[in-house]
A and B are shown apart, each in its own frame.
Chain A
């Protein structure tokens, strides 16, 4: 292995690492605020990439129908609750967020698609379509179960994953898709050419880590998000709505997933079912960060990306086995770090 190969693999590894990192960030974000171990996170990435690919072809992406369906369901649930509570405010909110906004977004995209408005508009349209799916899913699937155990929420997340992949298969088909490159720029770093796309991916994920880190450690809203997770009753007393914080974190998760999909969609082929494997790798990175620390998860993502890249070079047939068997010693290590808190935690 010469230096050129070494650095190229490094670049490739960092590239994957950036995507795993984005996955891990979203997983931690959702977990710390809602206690949901969201195994469908990767499916947002898939939706992002596939939606953009459809828009680029001038077609109305199936995401419009997914959004419409979820919005109607959420409206029914919210509306029913508004009726029960006889709350005009809640009813108005339901009409606004579950009907008007999705209708505007979906209708707008359906109207504009095929008019070749350029990549930037398509990307914005993609985010506008995929972004609301997160909070809608939270409202429909998770909010009614918000006080249930982590394990129940995990089963729900698994079920949600099943729902999204089958919708993706219905709307996008079994074949893979690619999106056009965001940039064709190339930079020479010694003997290695680094593509602008890879830099865009890495910079975006670094930026997100920093922003989220600041958000959670410095802003009042960020802190209150964390508070709702660790103490739901207390947070409610302090006037922080768990429903709102849940929807906010799911909105962030779907937006992060969507952006990752837009970033990665042009350097690899995305299938309707690519999401799970990416989620699991993000999950490994998140576990590395103890499902709590963004910087540690980022470090985990880098290690994971590099191991994957180099093991693909040295033993490609065993790559997956190597990656997933890493998780067990990793978990043991986390367990040792966490100490024997088992009993108290459950009590």
Chain B
């Protein structure tokens, strides 16, 4: 609540600024607002989504130029230019995104350099856009009959938009799709195992960032009433990126912080400092460059996290503001009858550059049974999990689930069918609370998209997802830990959180990779009880585990692998007496 009061007070203070400050301050603040919009987009795209774009200024440019052209050549009113400009940018961002976002990491960044430069040169070359001279005499904007040509009047329009957009992004980040975005940096395997379509999510944030940049361009055109190519070049894109880096992560307010500091500092450095030194020293680029390196070295979370650390007022991780009071309202899948075949693996093999990782494995899992997959390190157990979940494609053989062939499908598609997993090396998102991490698992059980999330029109569904997450956390016995960061939990508990996350997707089949590692004896017993009750509910469970006592007391069937080969299969008792198993595996242990 106090946070809300604080935010309201800040907004009130902001809106009082035009009554207090000089014209130049207000003009400067208008520039800050425009930069904040772009930086907010980059907060979403870069700070959270982990994608670096060197092309944001080009999107600002497309927005500004489209507006300028329509407002001058066709004398269109501002409302209409906004709609058309957004449509143009949307199409363009989608196109650029569709081409570049299939590329990974740094290739994407290189591609955005090309896009940014290409657009910049095009602005200067097209006669329609006034060539290098640009377009002037853009009529001022009028809202409800009030002309907003004066900086003070424009301030209110602009900052209303900026604040609205910041709230929208904040809302988005605490929604179903927002959690997906926040998980992006934690690696593709985990994210797609949650059923999240990485490509679609990347496109969505790329387009969202481009739209924010475009709105900034629209405002720019009406504020400046003059556009030329210079403000939209590669250097400008780099400066926007610097704003995002300097501002940092932790809250969307960081974008405002970064933009404010860069714009204000630039004004001081280009104008005040040379006056004091009495010379024309180009110092602002130097200062920004040094500042960015220093921040990345000393405070990778940017000034926002630095300020928070220094201030120490606000807690490190926000407590979930949408309390999981929703209860378990999400619809559940119909259970499979116990004994129905879920997973069927037939003659599956996998080679890496000639090296055989898995050789001709055939096994099946039915609803309501626990199958343990055991074998020494390097036996190919995790590789088999990766094949089942679509992370790897089998070199030979087929995997089918409930009668549908799954090998060849994308991991997120396979998750949709009802397979859920945990990881040998825990993959939780450190910047999200435990509750939010578990809620990632419910991704496929909701449908609200980015727009609904920005407007918080999906409150009921989101509450249901968080409620489900809370219920799963309670079920695995971690209630009370919802608001903690997973990094604050012991490793054993982190594995349990992964199980809760996997259960949150309401799967038919659960793949657990060493769930008991790092657990104390009592915790192991609790885990075994949990798995038994899941089995009783009709879930199929595949378990990779080294703790033989745990496995043998729990599993209905055991599959033993060694050097990629399946060397035995049967009840725990059968396997324990198998000669080859004893020689290859248990024998060594004994």
In the complex, the answer to whether A151 meets B121 with C-beta atoms within 8 Å is no
In the complex, the answer to whether B122 meets A321 with C-beta atoms within 8 Å is yes
Partner of A166, one of B104, B125, B234, B282: B282
The stretch of B70-78, B108-116, B464-472, B519-527 that contacts the partner chain: B108-116
Q: State in angstroms the CA–CA spacing of A284 and B401 once bound together.
A: 45
25 residue pairs bridging A and B, Cβ less than 8 Å apart = A144-B297, A145-B297, A150-B105, A151-B46, A152-B300, A155-B296, A159-B242, A159-B288, A159-B289, A159-B292, A162-B289, A166-B284, A170-B286, A276-B234, A283-B110, A320-B121, A328-B100, A331-B100, A332-B103, A335-B103, A335-B104, A344-B189, A346-B187, A347-B187, A347-B188
In the complex, the answer to whether A327 meets B285 with C-beta atoms within 8 Å is no
Instruction: Kindly list chain A residues whose C-beta atoms are within 8 Å of the C-beta of B100.
Output: 328, 331
1/0 contact string of A108-120 vs chain B (CB within 8 Å): 0000000000000
Q: How far is the CB of B569 from chain A (nearest CB, A)?
A: 28
Q: State in angstroms the CA–CA spacing of A148 and B241 once bound together.
A: 17
B21 within 8 A of A: no
B residues whose Cβ falls under 8 Å from a Cβ of A: 46, 50-52, 99-100, 102-107, 109-111, 113-115, 117-118, 121-122, 125, 187-189, 192, 234, 238, 241-242, 245, 281-286, 288-293, 296-297, 300, 391-392, 411
In the complex, the answer to whether B297 meets A155 with C-beta atoms within 8 Å is no
In the complex, the answer to whether A151 meets B286 with C-beta atoms within 8 Å is no
Instruction: Kindly list chain B residues whose C-beta atoms are within 8 Å of the C-beta of A276.
Output: 234
Q: Which 8 A-B pairs have the closest CB atoms?
A: A162-B289, A163-B289, A327-B114, A159-B292, A166-B285, A166-B286, A347-B189, A159-B289
Which of B99, B107, B189, B391 has the most A CB atoms < 10 Å from its CB?
A: B107
1/0 contact string of A148-189 vs chain B (CB within 8 Å): 111110111011111101110110000000000000000000
In the complex, the answer to whether A161 meets B105 with C-beta atoms within 8 Å is no
Question: Which chain A residue lies CB-closest to B237?
Answer: A158
A residues whose Cβ falls under 8 Å from a Cβ of B: 37, 140-141, 144-145, 148-152, 154-156, 158-163, 165-167, 169-170, 276, 280, 283, 287, 317-318, 320-321, 324-325, 327-328, 331-332, 334-335, 342-347
Question: Which chain A residue lies CB-closest to B292?
Answer: A159
Q: How far is the CB of A124 from chain B (nearest CB, A)?
A: 29
In the complex, the answer to whether A343 meets B411 with C-beta atoms within 8 Å is yes
Instruction: Kindly list chain B residues whose C-beta atoms are within 8 Å of the C-beta of A346.
Output: 104, 187-189
In the complex, the answer to whether B245 meets A155 with C-beta atoms within 8 Å is yes
Q: State in angstroms the CA–CA spacing of A166 and B125 once bound together.
A: 28
In the complex, the answer to whether B52 meets A154 with C-beta atoms within 8 Å is yes
In the complex, the answer to whether A158 meets B238 with C-beta atoms within 8 Å is yes
Decide: A331 near B107, CB < 8 A? Known: A161-B289, A318-B125: yes
Instruction: Kindly list chain B residues whose C-beta atoms are within 8 Å of the C-beta of A325.
Output: 114, 118
Q: How far is the CB of B95 from chain A (nearest CB, A)?
A: 10
Q: State in angstroms the CA–CA spacing of A191 and B110 once bound together.
A: 41
In the complex, the answer to whether A324 meets B188 with C-beta atoms within 8 Å is no
In the complex, the answer to whether A321 meets B285 with C-beta atoms within 8 Å is no
Q: State in angstroms the CA–CA spacing of A159 and B106 once bound together.
A: 16
Q: State in angstroms the CA–CA spacing of A321 and B289 once bound together.
A: 28
In the complex, the answer to whether A167 meets B117 with C-beta atoms within 8 Å is no
Which of A159, A161, A318 has the most B CB atoms < 10 Å from its CB?
A: A159
In the complex, the answer to whether A324 meets B114 with C-beta atoms within 8 Å is yes
Partner of B293, one of A160, A169, A170, A280: A160
Q: State in angstroms the CA–CA spacing of A317 and B127 once bound together.
A: 12
Instruction: Kindly list chain B residues whose C-beta atoms are within 8 Å of the C-beta of A163.
Output: 285-286, 289-290, 293
Beyond the given A144-B297, A162-B289, A166-B283, please list 6 additional residue pairs across the A-B interface where CB-CB is below 8 A: A141-B293, A159-B289, A159-B292, A325-B118, A331-B107, A344-B189
- How many residue-residue contacts, CB under 8 A, span A and B? 138
Instruction: Kindly list chain B residues whose C-beta atoms are within 8 Å of the C-beta of A170.
Output: 281-282, 286
Secondary structure call for the A interface: helix
Q: How far is the CB of A282 from chain B (nearest CB, A)?
A: 12
Instruction: Kindly list chain A residues whose C-beta atoms are within 8 Å of the C-beta of B118.
Output: 321, 324-325
In the complex, the answer to whether A347 meets B391 with C-beta atoms within 8 Å is yes
In the complex, the answer to whether A152 meets B296 with C-beta atoms within 8 Å is yes
In the complex, the answer to whether A169 meets B282 with C-beta atoms within 8 Å is yes
In the complex, the answer to whether A335 meets B188 with C-beta atoms within 8 Å is no
Instruction: Kindly list chain B residues whose C-beta atoms are within 8 Å of the C-beta of A318.
Output: 125
Instruction: Kindly list chain B residues whose C-beta atoms are within 8 Å of the C-beta of A156.
Output: 292-293, 296
Q: How far is the CB of B77 from chain A (nearest CB, A)?
A: 32
Decide: A342 near B104, CB < 8 A? Known: A158-B238, A328-B99: yes
Decide: A334 near B300, CB < 8 A? Known: A321-B122, A324-B118: no
Instruction: Kindly list chain A residues whose C-beta atoms are within 8 Å of the C-beta of B245.
Output: 155
Q: State in angstroms the CA–CA spacing of A166 and B245 once bound together.
A: 20
Q: State in angstroms the CA–CA spacing of A344 and B383 once bound together.
A: 11
Which of A166, A317, A320 has the most B CB atoms < 10 Å from its CB?
A: A166
Instruction: Kindly list chain B residues whose C-beta atoms are within 8 Å of the C-beta of A342.
Output: 104, 188
In the complex, the answer to whether B241 meets A334 with C-beta atoms within 8 Å is no
Q: State in angstroms the CA–CA spacing of A162 and B237 once bound together.
A: 13
In the complex, the answer to whether B52 meets A155 with C-beta atoms within 8 Å is yes
Which of B104, B122, B234, B391 has the most A CB atoms < 10 Å from its CB?
A: B104
Decide: A343 near B391, CB < 8 A? Known: A151-B52, A160-B293: yes
Partner of A145, one of B125, B189, B285, B296: B296
Instruction: Kindly list chain A residues whose C-beta atoms are within 8 Å of the C-beta of B297.
Output: 144-145
In the complex, the answer to whether A334 meets B107 with C-beta atoms within 8 Å is yes
In the complex, the answer to whether A166 meets B296 with C-beta atoms within 8 Å is no
In the complex, the answer to whether B109 meets A343 with C-beta atoms within 8 Å is no
In the complex, the answer to whether B111 meets A324 with C-beta atoms within 8 Å is no
Decide: A154 near B106, CB < 8 A? Known: A163-B286, A167-B286: yes
Q: State in angstroms the CA–CA spacing of A345 and B189 once bound together.
A: 9
Q: How far is the CB of A78 from chain B (nearest CB, A)?
A: 15
Question: Which chain A residue lies CB-closest to B239?
Answer: A162
Instruction: Kindly list chain B residues whose C-beta atoms are within 8 Å of the C-beta of A344.
Output: 189, 391-392
Instruction: Kindly list chain B residues whose C-beta atoms are within 8 Å of the C-beta of A347.
Output: 187-189, 391
Question: Which chain A residue lies CB-closest to B279?
Answer: A170
In the complex, the answer to whether A154 meets B109 with C-beta atoms within 8 Å is yes
Instruction: Kindly list chain A residues whose C-beta atoms are within 8 Å of the C-beta of B391.
Output: 343-344, 347
Instruction: Kindly list chain B residues whose C-beta atoms are within 8 Å of the C-beta of A162.
Output: 238, 285-286, 288-289, 292
In the complex, the answer to whether A317 meets B125 with C-beta atoms within 8 Å is yes
Q: State in angstroms the CA–CA spacing of A318 and B122 once bound together.
A: 8
In the complex, the answer to whether B296 meets A345 with C-beta atoms within 8 Å is no
Q: State in angstroms the CA–CA spacing of A169 and B270 once bound together.
A: 14
Q: State in angstroms the CA–CA spacing of A285 and B554 once bound together.
A: 58
Instruction: Kindly list chain A residues whose C-beta atoms are within 8 Å of the C-beta of B189.
Output: 343-344, 346-347
Q: State in angstroms the CA–CA spacing of A335 and B106 once bound together.
A: 12
Partner of B115, one of A159, A160, A328: A328
Instruction: Kindly list chain A residues whose C-beta atoms are within 8 Å of the C-beta of B111.
Output: 327-328, 331
Q: How far is the CB of A181 from chain B (nearest CB, A)?
A: 31
Q: How far is the CB of A32 from chain B (nearest CB, A)?
A: 13
Instruction: Kindly list chain B residues whose C-beta atoms are within 8 Å of the C-beta of A158.
Output: 238, 241-242, 292
Q: How far is the CB of B183 from chain A (nearest CB, A)?
A: 12
In the complex, the answer to whether A335 meets B113 with C-beta atoms within 8 Å is no
Q: How far is the CB of A341 from chain B (nearest CB, A)?
A: 8
Q: State in angstroms the CA–CA spacing of A46 and B451 once bound together.
A: 48
Q: How far is the CB of B38 from chain A (nearest CB, A)?
A: 16
Q: State in angstroms the CA–CA spacing of A166 and B111 once bound together.
A: 26
In the complex, the answer to whether A343 meets B192 with C-beta atoms within 8 Å is yes
Instruction: Kindly list chain B residues whose C-beta atoms are within 8 Å of the C-beta of A345.
Output: 104
Q: How far is the CB of B55 from chain A (nearest CB, A)?
A: 11
Q: State in angstroms the CA–CA spacing of A170 and B279 once bound together.
A: 10
Q: How far is the CB of B194 from chain A (nearest CB, A)?
A: 13
Instruction: Kindly list chain A residues whose C-beta atoms are within 8 Å of the C-beta of B300.
Output: 148, 152
Partner of B114, one of A148, A169, A328: A328
Q: State in angstroms the CA–CA spacing of A328 and B106 once bound together.
A: 13
Question: Which chain B residue lies CB-closest to A141?
Answer: B293
Question: Which chain A residue lies CB-closest to B298?
Answer: A144
Partner of A287, one of B110, B238, B290: B110
Q: How far is the CB of B261 from chain A (nearest CB, A)?
A: 15
